[in-house]
A and B are shown apart, each in its own frame.
Chain A
Amino acid sequence: MKVVIIGGGVIGTLIARLLSFYEADVTLIEKENDVGWGVTKANSGIVHAGYDDEPETLRAKLVVPGNEMYSQLSKDLDFPMQRVGSHVLAFSDEEVKILEELYKRGERNGVKGLKILSREEVLSMVPKVNPDVKASLYAPTAGIVVPWRVAIGASDNFVKNGGKLVLGERVVDIIASGGRVRKVVTDKNEYKADLVINAAGLFADEIAEMAGAEVMPIHPRKGEYILLDTQEYTPSVLFPTPSRGTKGTLVLPTLSENTLIGPNAVDLSPDEKNDVSTTSEGLKEIYESAKRLVPSIKLDEVLRTFAGLRPESPQRDFFIRESEGVWGFINVAAIRSPGLTAAPAIAEYVVEDIIQQRLKIHLEKKKSYVKSVKQIKKVSNMSLDEWAELVKKDEKFGNVVCMCWRITEGEIVEAIRRGARTLDSVKFRTGAMCGACQGGRCAIKIAKIISRETGIPLEEILTNSDGSNFVVGKVRI
């Protein structure tokens, strides 16, 4: 059976990984030059506890199992995760009432360990929180991850099991005849398909339309963020009390010892799916909102700002189902928040509930497959003895290229060996260029290493997407 998955975000890669355990010929097509560069790369990176989702929704059904699956998944795919816990902060009696509702909802959703904390308890756990706080809903199961590392791990696992990963091809048509899918056409190739899984994120409605399948209209909701080069503000995730269907602007620690503040929520029109620009109003708004949670936050240690888009649909729920009109086409669309959290459960839901039960396709497990991979080992996480051993084996691990985060040439070469061809691919696999100088000192060296290892001329090395060449030509001679 030939399966084509469209979209290499956390959803597409995790489905691909799961399917790679079975006897099936699976191809994952991603329009960008690497996995995880769309919705996956620009969000809060939180594994939510699962108390905000209305119990009747698919979100509520998948969020708590998804959260629980992260413990095993982070071991299997070797990405860091920390259950740092989260607080929803209440600053008025009305907000305290909302916390109580969230608490009840959380219990119904099966969230474990929820507690309503007093002002003093919150202050002792988060000393820099706004002292006007009245109470918090504390969820110890909430965690933080680096979302692109999830997609990279899943995709590596998929490829290791024989899956075919196609990068840099855009799906332009899906051929269906006789009531079922037949073929996926990209700008470069054609792929025969018995089953097409639409995990195209913001573009899932356009993909469904190509197939003539049911469409859930999708519009982007922009969220802007500011990343600060300090972790002094909070040890766990801080939310305001939610309103208007958004979780509001958060303050949270990241796994790279930074603090992230954001997002806001600005609805864009469906033709603005590529607009990830930041705005001065938006950045001001999130800073003001963040200061309500932690008044001492300052903007003197800004690493960078960015914006991401979440795929929203009118029904505000995931749209995951097989097409009724076109057999073999499965929508995994409108994966809004908490999509990252639900992702592992979504993958299981697609493979077990939809493909095997509803479409009645029997999948046979492969005789041999792996369900775990090792991501690139960082010398900065090693003991000196381990690091020294590694340098003895390969001197490249003794050449520190990224001085901010101490990433060696050895780690960069390993990323290239695993398929990285662009600066961002190296960045997301190794952490190089993420530090205080943002690649100011090492991007040149990394571009040269990619060029040397792959034979691609330096003028053709990209920062990320096609057209983002790092240099444009040689100087006059």
Chain B
Amino acid sequence: MLVVGAGAAGMAAAKGASEKGAHVLLVDNEEWIGGILQQCIHNGFGVHRYKKELTGPEFAAELKSEIPSDVEVKTGTFAHEIVPNEKRAILVSREGIEEVSYESLVYATGARERTFQSLMVPGTRPAGIYTAGQAQRLINIEGYLPGKRALVLGSGDVGLIMARRMYLEGMEVVGVVERLPYPGGLRRNVKQCLEDFDIPLYLSHTVIRVEGYPRLEKVIVAKVDGNFRPIPGTEREFHVDTLVVSVGLIPVKKLVADFVKVRSGVLVSSSGQTSVDSIFAAGNVTTIFDLVDYVAKEGEKAGRSAALLAKGEFRGERLPIRKGKGVKILHPEWYDPSVPLSVYLRVEKPMEKALIRVGKYEIEAEDLTPAEMVNVDVEPPCESEVSVSVTEV
């Protein structure tokens, strides 16, 4: 079995597969395993999986210790090509180019950050604009500061955490700008990363222009209306040399997008299986998860299913899951009656009290917001198709 990507999803997949008796090769292009967890030195990881609050590297270390020793790990190894009908892959590393065959494969390449360049913000194209993950790696792994005075665009969790991180490193952080009327990240992060440090959050605002060359000098921000259009007369200027951008994650699905079904991410069943029988996927390459605990859970499940398939003990059914009322984002795409069903969803609008329906099951929930992913675990509903909806009560 081949696992491509050794972040939380890939590591958990390797564990799950190995425990089911598969011989596993786990590869990653970085020099380490643990993926993006290694640069997330803040805590808050592992509350579900390990029942304690861990930092990213600690979570990675815990997960690593769960991987049986017979799993073969290759870092610095790039998956160059996957040939699905021949079940082989081409791997590139400093040691050379090798072809490996697999019975089943778990694709767990995670996500990349949406770039500032893709937002078409007018102005110059100066140095000093970083994605949040890039700034995070610079500070936490490489030990360098991106600039002196920063504004953050996007209030997703990474944006919030980076605002605090830069502040703690002695940079001046003049604010976080969010085009939505509510924060994009978890509530606890708004409190612990912004409020506790008096960093202002500008909701319903966006960056409309950047100035300065060759280094960023000024960012112009304006209030937006309900359609995200800037409102004239509301512009304000921030004199900063650094803009840190956290405007969403995009699944890295390039290597498989030609032969498995994809939408924004790789589509999978509740078992982790993609539209191609021998290929499974898990983690942020399938949908963007809020918590690494969820990623690890799905990775482990995909690993187990993939191992069973390799042994010929997995049927692999893909029954439809329909997105009903009140649901903005729903994962997975299909369900497999042979495994317990974990549904992940984001609601369309904030709801104080709600009733979540997953097929025949009804679950009460409180305090739902679009920013926070809801996870509902149920026994396989044994229906030919499952509908998921959320109604306010």
Contact = CB atoms under 8 A, between A and B. Distances in A.
Asked if chains A and B come from one complex, the reply is: yes
A474 interface: yes
Q: Which of B127, B137, B241, B250 has the most CB of A within 10 A?
A: B127
Contacts of A465: 213-214
A440 interface: yes
B169 A277 contact: no
Nearest to B168: A476
Contact of B118 (A279, A280, A302, A475): A302
Q: Which of A306, A395, A437 has the most CB of B within 10 A?
A: A437
Given A304-B117, A400-B92, A471-B146, A444 B137 contact: yes
B145 A475 contact: yes
A387 interface: yes
Interface in A101-123: none
Interface string B106-118: 0000001101011
Contact of A392 (B96, B146, B211, B252): B96
B170 to A, nearest CB: 6
A443 B134 contact: yes
Contacts of A438: 115, 117-118
Nearest to B95: A398
A440 B133 contact: yes
Contact of A440 (B96, B131, B148, B170): B131
Contacts of B181: none
A92 interface: no
Contacts of A395: 94-95
Interface residues of B, number: 47
Nearest to A229: B118
Interface in B228-277: 241, 250, 252
Contact of A448 (B127, B142, B211): B142
A135 interface: no
A411 B178 CA distance: 39
Given A305-B117, A392-B96, A475 B211 contact: no
Contact of A388 (B76, B96, B113, B120): B96
Contacts of B133: 440
A377 to B, nearest CB: 16
Interface in A301-359: 302-306
Interface string B53-87: 00000000000000000000000101010000000
Contacts of A274: 213
Contact of B214 (A304, A406, A448, A463): A463
A474 B144 contact: yes
Interface in B197-216: 208, 211, 213-215
Contact of B143 (A276, A462, A467, A475): A475
A245 interface: no
A440 B110 CA distance: 14
Given A403-B78, A472-B146, A277 B96 contact: no
B139 interface: yes
A470 interface: yes
Interface string A122-161: 0000000000000000000000000000000000000000
Contact of B76 (A276, A399, A403): A399
B174 interface: no
B42 interface: no
Contacts of A280: 122, 208
Contacts of A466: 214
Interface in A256-275: 274
Nearest to B252: A403
Nearest to B91: A398
Interface string B3-41: 000000000000000000000000001000000000000
A475 B214 contact: no
A399 B125 CA distance: 29
Nearest to B140: A475
Nearest to B99: A384
Contact of A474 (B29, B93, B145): B145
A131 B123 CA distance: 35
B355 interface: no
A441 B96 contact: no
Contacts of B169: 475-476
Q: Which of B122, B142, B147, B170 has the most CB of A within 10 A?
A: B122
Q: Which of B97, B138, B252 has the most CB of A within 10 A?
A: B97
Interface in A369-409: 384, 387-388, 391-392, 395-396, 398-400, 403, 406
B30 to A, nearest CB: 10
B288 to A, nearest CB: 16
Contacts of A302: 117-120
A305 B127 contact: no
A387 B120 contact: no
A387 B97 CA distance: 8
A400 to B, nearest CB: 4
Contact of A476 (B113, B119, B170, B213): B170
Nearest to B143: A475
A274 B148 CA distance: 25
A378 B384 CA distance: 51
B43 interface: no
B14 to A, nearest CB: 21
B350 interface: no
B324 interface: no
B144 A458 contact: yes
A443 B148 CA distance: 19
Contacts of A303: 117-118
A469 B127 contact: yes
A37 B117 CA distance: 19
Contacts of A467: 127, 214-215
A459 B122 contact: no
Contact of B145 (A391, A468, A471): A471
Contact of A299 (B115, B120, B143): B120
Nearest to B139: A475
Interface string A74-90: 00000000000000000
Nearest to B93: A398
Contacts of A476: 169-170
Nearest to B147: A472
B215 A468 contact: yes
B126 interface: yes
Q: Which of B115, B117, B213 has the most CB of A within 10 A?
A: B117
Given A305-B117, A465-B214, 12 more contacts: A278-B122, A302-B120, A391-B95, A400-B29, A441-B112, A443-B134, A444-B134, A463-B127, A468-B214, A472-B148, A474-B144, A476-B170
Interface of A: 226, 274, 276-280, 282-283, 299, 302-306, 384, 387-388, 391-392, 395-396, 398-400, 403, 406, 436-438, 440-441, 443-444, 448, 458-459, 462-476
13 contacts: A274-B213, A282-B122, A302-B120, A304-B125, A398-B93, A443-B134, A444-B137, A448-B142, A466-B214, A472-B144, A472-B147, A473-B144, A475-B169
Interface of B: 29, 76, 78, 80, 90, 92-97, 112-113, 115, 117-120, 122-127, 131, 133-134, 137-139, 142-148, 169-170, 208, 211, 213-215, 241, 250, 252
